[in-house]
Amino acid sequence: MLTWNEVLTIAQNGNPKPPRRVEKTEDEWRSLLSPDEFFVTRQKGTERAFSSEMCSLFQPGLYACRCCETELFDSGEKFESGTGWPSFTQPVDPVVVAYHDDRSYGMHRVETTCNVCDAHLGHVFPDGPPPSGLRYCINALSLKKISTVSS
């Protein structure tokens, strides 16, 4: 289980090797994604809070990267944060999410991206529920709910 201190160390010292790599040109990504999905995942955008029904979706299953379909989060780690974005406490595997220092907009945050295709997912914060205390605040447009039932 990742902790906030481990997330900070990874963000500062480098991410683990991904299980595989998916790389496409900007034009290839544009042809595969809707304009909103492209804005969020490839241009580090943010969707409006409470703009997706995915926030209140808690059925068993997995959430994959919208761009490369890498499994990222399990519904068993999803919780209602009240922030307006889907929130999770842990990724399904520590190597599928990458962490980056983000000092944009006069803030210091930790950006999360898909470690396989570099899609922007959102940010992680140290104000989640126990035992990890992490809150992965993820853009719904970055995710694709897949039907595989969580274990």
Number of helical H runs and strand E runs in the chain? 3, 9
Tell me, what amino acid is at 82?
G
Asked if 63 contacts 143 with a C-beta cutoff of 8 angstroms, the reply is yes
Task: Specify whether 68 is catalytic.
Answer: no
Asked if 2 contacts 94 with a C-beta cutoff of 8 angstroms, the reply is yes
Burial class (CB in 10 A: 0-12, 13-18, 19+), 80: exposed
> How far apart are alpha carbons 93 and 91 in whole angstroms?
5
Write out the two tokens for 16: 């683990």
Which positions are annotated as active-site residues?
137
